[in-house]
Structures are given as structure tokens and as C-alpha cells.
Structure 1
Amino acid sequence: MIDFLNKVSLFANLNEQQLNAIAGLCYKKSFKAGTVLFQEKDPGSVFYIVFSGSVKIYTASGGGEEKILSLIRSGDSFGELSLIDGKPRSASAQTLEDSVLIALNAGSFLELLRSNFDICLIIMRELCDRLRDTNQQVFELTFLDARTRVIKSLIKLANKNGIRQGSAIHIRMKLNYDEISQMAGVQKPDLMRVIRDFQDRQILTFQDQDMKLDLAKLRG
């Protein structure tokens, strides 16, 4: 646990004694793929860090249409907002694959913030980054056409979750096409038109769950 926590950006500046204290507050829990961890408007009681696997954070309209806000992978944290302001969850969270999460309950999390200014500062920066991302998403949905939104979403997905080899980025896909269209804020037919065009031009290639995005051909 200590070795892992030491690699989590949230705890990167802490000493061994502080990490040991945090490890004593945490517990690991396994979840099957597709498990809803919490839903929008639920009361917040747990803060999570992904140990292995991945999680999607999303909102849903009254008609059930989803919008994916972010993808959370190993070393990333989520669920802190409602613990800080005491309000219901602002979004839902669901595992995309079999996952192991590290959890802290609300009382332990808030005590951690009270006793560690470094962690408070890092969380403030993380929340600022998320606000900037939200502002960027609003801009893209307002001013960019569907094709451009798809391209930007694929590049963002590749940069955050892929492994780069030269001009190509390899990604193990954990999202289906419906989820990618939600993430890009486009209708599925618009997404599929861009995907087919990219496949024809060999910008995108697929093998099982692996996707390769060739940036050189994208720029060409």
C-alpha cells in the first residue's frame, strides 16, 4: 500500500510517516465491471483512489442520456467534492472493468485534510483543473462541429490513457462506441462516420480491444 500511495500525485510530497498514517485509514475493495459506485445526487460518504482498473464519471439527463465527464485510471482519485462541501454527488461513477479501489470514509478524509496542508493544496489544484476542463467542454459543445469534437476526444483519450510509440499511440479500449459518443458530445452516427473515415485513411486501426491512433497520418 505504501509503495502505491507514494506514486499517487495526491500524496507525492508526503513523508513516510504521513504515508503510513494514510495507509492506516485506507482500505481496498474489489468491484466487478459495470458496478455503479455512486449515483448523482447520492450523499457523499467515501473518497476513492483507483488502485487498478478504470472508472467513468458521468451525468445523465432525465431521459437517461449520459455524458461522460472523465475517465479515472490507476493513481487517479475521485469523489472528494461532495465530502468537502457536504452536498450530494454532482455526478455518477461506474467501473469500466474489474477494478480495485482504495477508499477513505468521509471522517477520515476530512481529518486528513485538516492535518495535511499539502494535500489540501493539491486537491484545490485538482478542482481548479476540473473547472478548466468543464469550461473547455462547454466551449467545444457550443462552438465546435461534431467531427472536430470527435477528433479532440480521441486525441484526449489517447494522450491520457495510451502508450506512445513514435507517432502512434496505442490504447486498450475500455469504452464502447456509445460511451465515446457521449464523451465527445455527438450522436453515434456522427461518431461512426468519423471512425470509418479514419479507418479508411489508416489513422485509426483496431485489434481486439486495442486501438492505435497514428498522429502523423492525422496531421497529413
Structure 2
Amino acid sequence: MIELLHTVPLFSRLNMNQLESISGICTKKSFKTGTVLFHEKELGSVFYIVHSGSVKIYTAGSTGEEKILSLMKPGDSFGELSLIDGKPRSATARTLEDSVLISISGQDFITLLKTHFDISLGIMQELSTRLRESNQHVHDLTFLDARSRVIRSLITLANKNGIRTGSTITIKMTLNYDEVSQMAGVQKPILIQVIRELQEKQIITMPGHEMKLDLAKLRA
């Protein structure tokens, strides 16, 4: 467990003794694809860290339509807001593929923040990053046209979840077209139209369940 924790950015600044104390309050568990970890508006009791796999964080409207807020990859953490402010969950979390997660109970998590400033600082930095991303998303929806929003969303997915080789970023596509269109804030037909355009220009290729984004061609 200690070696696993050391790979998590949130704990990367901690020493071995600190990691040992944290490992004692952690639980590692495997989850199947499509498992709901918690629902929007329910009280929070657990903090999660993704060890492997991926998790989508989303809200649902009255008609059942989903809005994806973020995609969590290995090393990412989530579920802390409800534990910190004591209010119900602001979104739902569901695994996108078979995943292994590390969990810490709410009470142990709060104690962790009180005793380890490095972790508290890491949480604040993560929340600040999410706030900046939310502000950028609002800006995009307000000022960018549909095509630009799709391209920006694909670049964001690539930067956060892809593997870069030279000017090409390879992304394992755990999201379907409906989910990507929700992230971009466009209708699915528009998303498909833009992706076909990018494929024709060989800016993106989609072998199997992957998407390859050629940054050099995109800049050109």
C-alpha cells in the first residue's frame, strides 16, 4: 500500500513514516465498469483516490440528461467537498471501466487534513485547479462557437488523460460520443461532424478504442 500511495500526487511530498500512518486508514477495492460510487445529493462519507481505471463525475437534470464535470484518472482524488463542508454530494461518481480505488473514511480524512499540512495544501491546490477549470468552461460556453468547443474539449481530454509521443497524444476512449458532446456543450451531430472533419485532415485518427491527436497538424 505504501508504494501505491507514494505514486499519488497528493501524497508525493510525504515521508515514509507519514505514508505508513496513512496506509493504515486506507482501503483498496476493485470496482466493475458502471459502478456508482455515490449519488448526487446524498451525504458523503468517503474520500476516493483512483489507483487504476477511470471515474466520471457528473450531474443529471430533471429529464435524466447527464452533464459530465470531470474525468478522474489514476492519481486523481475526489469526494472531498462533501466531507469538508458537511453538505450533500454535489455530483454523482461512476466508474467508466474496471477500476481499483483507494478509499478513506470521512472521519479519518478530516483527521488527516488536521495532522498533515502537505495534504491540506494539496487539496487546496486541487480545488483551486477545479475552480479555474470551471471558470474556463463557463467562458468557453459563452464565447466559443460549437466547433471550437469540441476541439478544446478533445485537447483537454488529451492533456489530462493521454500519453504523448512526440507531437501525437494517444487517448484511451472511455467516453462515448454522447458523453464527449456533453463535456463540450454541443449536440451529438455537431460533435460527429467536427470529428469527421478532423479525421479527413488527419488531425485525429481513431484506431480501435483509442484516439490519436496530432498536435503538429492541429497547429497547422
* TM-score (normalised: structure 2): 0.98
Which amino acid is 1:131 matched to?
L
Identity of matched residues, % = 68
Note the C-alpha offset of 1:24: 0.3
Write out per-residue CA displacement over residues 36-55 of structure 1, whole angstroms, 9 at most, x where no aligned residue.
Answer: 11111110000000111000
- CA deviations 1:95-133 (Å, max 9, x no partner) are 000001000011111111111111111111111111111
SS in 2 for 1:93: strand
How many pairs does the alignment contain? Answer: 220
Quote how far apart the aligned CAs of 1:22 are: 0.4
1:122-159 CA-partner distances (Å, limit 9, x unpaired): 11111111111111111111111110000000011111
Residue-by-residue CA offset, 1:165-208 (whole Å, 9 max, x unaligned): 12111111111111111111111011001011111111111111
1:119 aligns with 2:119: yes
Counterparts of residues 1-220 of structure 1 (less than 5 Å) = 1-220=1-220
In structure 2, distance between residues paired with 1:98 and 1:86 = 29
**Amino acid paired to 1:210:** E
Which has the higher mean CA deviation after the structures are superposed, 60-69 or 144-153? 60-69
Segments ≥4 residues shifted beyond 2 Å? none
Q: C-alpha separation between the residues in 2 aligned to 1:133 and 1:21?
A: 33
Partner amino acid for 1:98?
D
Q: Which amino acid is 2:64 matched to? A: G
Letter in 2 for 1:92: T
Residue type at the aligned position of 2:59 = T
SS of the aligned residue for 2:71 comes to strand
Q: What residue identity is the alignment partner of 2:141?
A: L
Distance in 1 between residues matched to 2:152 and 2:65, nearest whole Å? 21
In the alignment, the residues of structure 1 paired with residue 52 and residue 79 of structure 2 have an alpha-carbon distance, to the nearest angstrom, of 16
CA distance in 2, matches of 1:120, 1:184: 31
SS in 1 for 2:103: strand
In structure 2, runs of 5+ residues without a counterpart are none
Whole-angstrom CA distance in 2 between matches of 1:142 and 1:64: 24
2:105 and 2:4 map into 1 onto residues whose CA distance is 19
